[in-house]
Amino acid sequence: MVTALALIGHATLVASQRVIAPIVAALLVVGVLVELPDFDPAYAGGEYVLGGFWPTWVLSMVTSASLALSYGPFANDYARYLPAWAARRGALWGSAGIFLGCWFALLFAAFFTSMMAPGTSDFVVGLVEVSPTWYAVPLVVIGLLGGFGQGSLASTAPAWTPRRSSLG
């Protein structure tokens, strides 16, 4: 679907993301509200993945940081089309958006993971299992549509040419 939209045009892909992103955000909030009665803040978790706290903590931090850092090259590529002042401002707001977006997504994952059966290794399967059917169906749909944001970053660059590059 991402490829088909990218072939239609980058603007179409970006426009679709403007509709999908708020729907996904609302669905995540609804999911937390629906599952709040089942959440146990005293959940102690299970065994550490790497056998101890610090090795597992370092692995989780490196994994979490790689999520945000993976967007850097795409955002930087688009910055060359902007004037220098807009690129700096975009870097600030882009960094804040990436940090907050990843942080909220990881909090959502931690919230739902605490309700999954011990030993559940597939997050999507576990999420669908702990969710009511009326909520699981839209989750599966947004799982399919959720790649549009990444697709809009990785697809073709804007068709316009800048008068002055921020690199020169």
Q: How far is CA 28 from the centre of its chain?
A: 12
Tell whether 46 is covered by a domain.
no
Burial letters 46-63, b for 16+ CB under 10 A, else e: eeeeeeeeeeeeeeeeee
Q: Specify the number of domains making up the chain.
A: 2
Give me the residues of the chain with pLDDT under 70, please.
1-2, 5-6, 10, 74-75, 146-168
What is the residue-wise DSSP string for the chain? -HHHHHHH-HHHHHHHHHHHHHHHHHHHHHHHHHHGGG--TT------TTSSHHHHHHHHHHHHHHHHHTTHHHHHHHHTTS-HHHHHHHHHHHHHHHHHHHHHHHHHHHHHHTTSPTT---HHHHHHHHS-HHHHHHHHHHHHHTTHHHHHHHSPPPS---SS-TT-
Matching residue, tokens 């977006």: 101
Instruction: Look at residue 20 in the predicted model and tell me its pLDDT.
Output: 82
Same domain for 64 and 81, yes or no, is yes
pTM of the model: 0.69
Instruction: Look at residue 161 in the predicted model and tell me its pLDDT.
Output: 46
Tell whether 48 is covered by a domain.
no
Same domain for 98 and 126, yes or no, is no
Tell whether 84 is covered by a domain.
yes
Same domain for 101 and 130, yes or no, is no
Instruction: Look at residue 159 in the predicted model and tell me its pLDDT.
Output: 47
Same domain for 139 and 110, yes or no, is no
List the domain range (segments joined by +) for residue 77.
Answer: 53-114
Non-local CB neighbours of 141 within 8 Å, separated by 6+ positions: none
Tell whether 68 is covered by a domain.
yes
Tell whether 14 is covered by a domain.
yes
Instruction: Look at residue 30 in the predicted model and tell me its pLDDT.
Output: 92
